[in-house]
Amino acid sequence: MSTPFVSVLALRSHTKSWGDCCQGVAIPVRDSAQLENGETMGTANDDLAPEMEALKAKLKATWMSGDFDKIAQIYAPGAAEFVERLALRPGERVLDVACGTGNLSFPASRAGARVVGLDIAPNLLETARARAQAEGLEIRFDEGDAEQLLYEDAAFDTVITMFGAMFAPRPEKAAAELIRVSRPGGRIVMANWTPTGFIGQMFKTTSAHVPPPPGMQSPVRWGDEEVVRERLRDGITSLELTRRHISFKFPLAVPDVIEFWRAWYGPTQRAFAALDENGQQALRRDLERLWSEHNRATDGTTHVESEYLEVVAVRG
C-alpha cells in the first residue's frame, strides 16, 4: 500500500481528548489515525486514484523545494495582523492548516491559544518545531493533508489558513474538512490570494510559461467571492468576505527579488527548472516586468502590496 505522505506511524481505533497530553499540545485525533509522537505524521489511506496520488506527491515535492520560510518571513508582519484581528481568547483551540513554518501559528500561540499546525512539507515543520522549542512555545506541528485532516469532528474553536488550504488540489474536500473539524459556532478564517492581486498575477505569469499540472484547479479561485460562497455553502451560518492587502518589502532591486524568489519559493524554483535557457530568460523578463510595474519603492528596493480575500465563516 502506498501513502502520499511518509509512513503511517500508527493506525488504531483510538480517540484522544483535549485532556490527554501529547507532547505539550493535546489534540483529539480521528478514530482511524493516532498521532504517535508528534515528530512525523502520516495520513490514513484516502484510496487515491493513481493520478491524484502522483499529483499530490508532485505538490509535496514542490513545497519542500527551496525554503518557504525565507518567503514567509517577508510577510510575517501581515500574518501577525491577520491573527490580531481574530482576537483569540486564551485557551482557544486553533488549527493552522497548511501552516508552513508557522506564520499564523506563532502569533496565535503568543496570544494564548492552544495551537496545532498541520502541513504536507516535513522540512517546513522541522523549522517550525525548532523555532517553537527555541521560543518555549507549546505548539504541536503535524504532517498531514488539508483534504484529510487528522482530527475529530468539531475539535477546534477556530480553524485558520493563510495562503495554504487554497493549494489543495481538491477544493471541495479541503472545504469540507475545514468545516468538519470546526465546532458549531466556531470560525473558519482563510486568507486566499485573489486572481487579480499581485501574487495572483505572478501565478498567471508563471503559468503562461509552465502550465500547471493536469487535474489541478487554479488555487486563486479561492480568492473569488462567488466561488467561496459556493464552496462554503453547507454547514455555515455566516460568511464575511473582505479584500485586504499584505506587504512584500525587500531590501533588494527587482532582478535580485526574482532570484530570491527563484532560490526559495518552491513553485518558482520548479517552474524555472522545467524550462531551457531561453524559456528561463523569457520567464525572468516577464516576472521582472510584473514586479517593476507593481513596485512602490523609489529607492532601488522593492515593495509590492498583494491583494487577498479574507474569509470569515461561522460554523452552523
Enumerate binding residues for ligand SAM (CB under 6 A): 59, 63, 68, 72, 79, 98-100, 103, 119-121, 124, 145-147, 162-164, 167-168
Q: Where is 288: in which H helix or E strand?
A: helix 277-294
Residue whose CB is less far from ligand SAM, 63 or 291? 63
By beta carbon distance, the residue nearest ligand SAM is 100
Which C-beta is closer to ligand SAM: that of 142 or that of 224?
A: 142
Q: Take residue 18 and report the three cell numbers written for it.
A: 483535549
Looking at the Cβ atoms of 119 and 157, the one nearer to ligand SAM is: 119
**CB 1 to ligand SAM: min, Å:** 20
- Smallest gap from Cβ 19 to ligand SAM, in A, equals 27
Reading the block at residue 27, the C-alpha cell is 489534540
Nearer to ligand SAM, 59 or 188 (CB): 59
Report the length, in residues, of the chain.
316
Round to whole Å and give the CA distance between 187 and 31.
23
CA angle 80, 110, 141 (to 5 degrees): 90
Distance between CA atoms of residues 173 and 183, nearest Å:
18
CB of 222 or CB of 291, closer to ligand SAM: 222
Minimal distance, residue 118 CB to ligand SAM, in Å: 6
Burial 235-269 (b: 16+ CB within 10 A, else e): bbeeeebeebebebebeebbeebbebbbebbbbbb
- Nearest approach in angstroms of CB 247 to ligand SAM is 14
79: amino acid identity, one letter: A
* Choice between 75 and 272, CB closer to ligand SAM: 75
C-alpha cell at 96: 493552522
For the CB of residue 296, give the shortest distance to ligand SAM in the complex, in Å.
22
Identify the burial level of 281 via C-beta atoms within 10 angstroms of its C-beta, where 0-12 means exposed, 13-18 middle and 19 or more buried: exposed
Q: Cβ of residue 294: shortest distance to ligand SAM, in angstroms?
A: 18
